[in-house]
Chain A
């Protein structure tokens, strides 16, 4: 036995050497590079254009970096650009969007998480029927419900107000969010729920003390879904609110699509970036929470 070990040591040993320019690597990184450019180029053009003055844009070199960097288009997009008759830029729309998004997100997540918890853990009579109807609702095209909701909102006196839009967003978020929470709560170990019942915790006790503390990742996912969905919404915003309460997306549309005067490409680009900034920030900030460990140590680890 002792002799054979010394012989085997002449062959390959230690870490296997890797080639930097193998065919596999060239193909892999080449593809990644092309795809990255494909996605990044429009953003690059937007940023570059938004930093140029109109004379420079008229030269027509859309790929060229700005010769003279100016933030004037950004200022104009935020506070001076004209939307129809008023000329106060995106700022009004921004604050409207904030006032729509925050309550809608909070309200829909609270209701949907309780829904999901009840459906997953308390198998009440008719739970499956209720759930099926809810999921079915997710497949009905929005257009079908657009006008009936206008009438409903008018009847309860909320048509054209922010409150009305918040209610609409909350209701429309329900199917997908309930599904999300129900599936997550179902994936938590059932024995935890049983243990809490033996320990005398009730419906709300288990929800607040056991379930919610273990559900940070899914609350994050729900928040990202809702913030981006509601912030980017255009259709409901334009239908259910009035000119004073238009959300930011509608303001953006009005700025970009205004037909009078010169088309100010730099202002349009800046306005578009500002509008997209909120969902973008949400992604960057909450990305870390996304991947956090879930029920570590609850069950056999």
Chain B
């Protein structure tokens, strides 16, 4: 049994609205899977189904080889961490951690040792006697993670656990969750709309849209070989540049430009005479001395500069389309300056204009 969680043909509908449609997903033991998507894509709904907090309309859910489709949340062998922490306000931290164990009628010594172990791992021992109101946001989320930890389960479910924290804390806790995963080797399913969280944490990412999984793959695959235009646009910040044109005679024609596609790895051979979109990430555009090595070069005029410190984002126009280039933060450019940029089609993505699928 290598799969920890298996989801088979899962359907969920509220009245006439289909929230999840024929969804299949296998999650390996010890895998960190991130469900990523914009709001309303069904990612949290899927997580709630796995947790048993929502009744499914069709299909099955297996956890650790057991069919848990109809099981109560507490019987599924899962622990869950919520966005709003959801700590019980009238109980101390200790009470929060032990609530589930008391419900399970575990012996007192066992409860104590589990609470102790979890609070050691998360470094919240000094807080055990406090009420949630007396904790900071980061501490509260640690306690919430601890509440999942004491349950001693194989599968952890995270529902946007870092969304309520400020940027710095978010980065810290992100690292901590990753470290926790390394040391515990649990299966973790993590819902987020933050692609940085997804890219940094995940073994595999499932990009969701409209209740379906668009693409399931490693962060590298998702970033480098997006299966359709939606995924390509969704992943990456700043987002990908898209130019609409035509593939003809081994080159991509847009306006007066013809970008040679000899280096591009087509999935099913190069089409001819096909309307298509080329997607080029701002960070894959080369400038400066490296331009000479690029497969295709074009001169542009700088229209806007956004310095971010480490990088400088440069806006320009390519064949009448708005185009962004990411340059080194040290590079000196000014508005109105002429710039030679280089494009490597091997790093780009081509999509059918109609179906928006990767070519």
Interface of A with B (CB < 8 Å)?
Answer: 189, 191-192, 194-201, 205, 209-210, 213-214, 295-301
Whether the pair B137, A194 counts as a contact (CB closer than 8 A) is: no
CA distance A205 to B85 in the complex (A): 20
19 further interface pairs, Cβ-Cβ under 8 Å (given A199-B151, A200-B104, A301-B133) = A189-B84, A191-B159, A194-B48, A194-B82, A195-B80, A196-B99, A197-B73, A198-B53, A198-B79, A199-B103, A200-B73, A200-B74, A201-B74, A201-B100, A209-B99, A214-B89, A298-B85, A298-B86, A298-B89
Distance in angstroms from B191 CB to nearest chain A CB is 13
A300 touching B89 in the complex, CB below 8 Å, given contacts A194-B82, A201-B103 = no
Question: Which of B78, B87, B104 is close to A297, meaning CB atoms less than 8 Å apart?
Answer: B87
Note all chain A residues with C-beta closer than 8 A to B52.
197
Contact present for B133 and A297 (CB under 8 Å): yes
In the assembled complex, B310 has its CB within 8 A of some CB on chain A: no
Contacts of B84 in A (CB 8 A): 189, 191, 298-300
Q: How many A-B residue pairs have CB under 8 A?
A: 88
Tell me the smallest distance from the CB of A189 to a CB of chain B, in Å.
6
Answer yes or no: B337 CB below 8 A from chain A CBs. no
**B86/A299 in contact, CB under 8 A:** yes
Residues of B participating in the A interface, judged by any CB pair closer than 8 Å: 48, 51-53, 72-74, 78-80, 82-90, 99-100, 103-104, 131-135, 137, 140, 147, 151, 159, 164
The answer on a CB contact under 8 Å between A300 and B137 is yes
Select one of A198, A200, A299 contacting B51, CB under 8 A.
Answer: A198
- Pairwise interchain contact B80-A298, C-beta atoms closer than 8 A: no
Q: Which residue of B lies closest to A195 (CB)?
A: B86
Whether B73 pairs with A198 at a CB distance below 8 angstroms is: yes
Q: A199-B74, A300-B137 are in contact. Are A194 and B80 (CB under 8 A)?
A: yes
Decide: B132 and A191 in contact? CB cutoff 8 A. no
Chain B hits for A196, CB < 8 A: 88, 99
Name the residue on A nearest B153 (C-beta): A198
CA of A196 to CA of B96, assembled, Å: 10
The interface residues of chain A lying within 8 Å CB-to-CB of B80 are 194-195, 198
Contact partners of B83 in chain A: CB under 8 A: 191
Q: Is the CB of A297 within 8 A of B99?
A: no
Identify 14 residue pairs between A and B in the complex whose beta-carbon atoms are under 8 Å apart, listed by A's number. Answer: A191-B82, A191-B84, A196-B88, A197-B52, A198-B73, A198-B100, A200-B103, A201-B99, A295-B89, A297-B135, A298-B84, A300-B84, A300-B137, A300-B164
Alpha-carbon distance A298/B90, docked complex (angstroms): 9
Q: How far is the CA of A189 from the CA of B132 in the complex (A)?
A: 15
A189 and B86 contacting across the interface, CB-CB below 8 Å: yes
Closest Cβ–Cβ distance, residue B42 to chain A (whole Å)? 17
A1–B274 Cα gap in the complex (Å)? 63
CB contacts (< 8 Å) of B133 on chain A: these are: 296-297, 301
Q: Which residues of B contact A300 (CB under 8 A)?
A: 84-85, 137, 164
Q: Which residues of B contact A191 (CB under 8 A)?
A: 82-86, 159
A298 surroundings in chain B (CB, below 8 A): 84-89, 132
B88–A192 CB distance below 8 A:
yes
Report if A198-B78 is in contact (Cβ < 8 Å); known contacts: A296-B133, A297-B131, A300-B164: yes
What are the 5 A-B residue pairs with the smallest beta carbon separation, nearest first?
A297-B133, A200-B74, A199-B100, A191-B86, A200-B103
The CA-CA distance from A271 to B197 in the complex, in Å, is 71
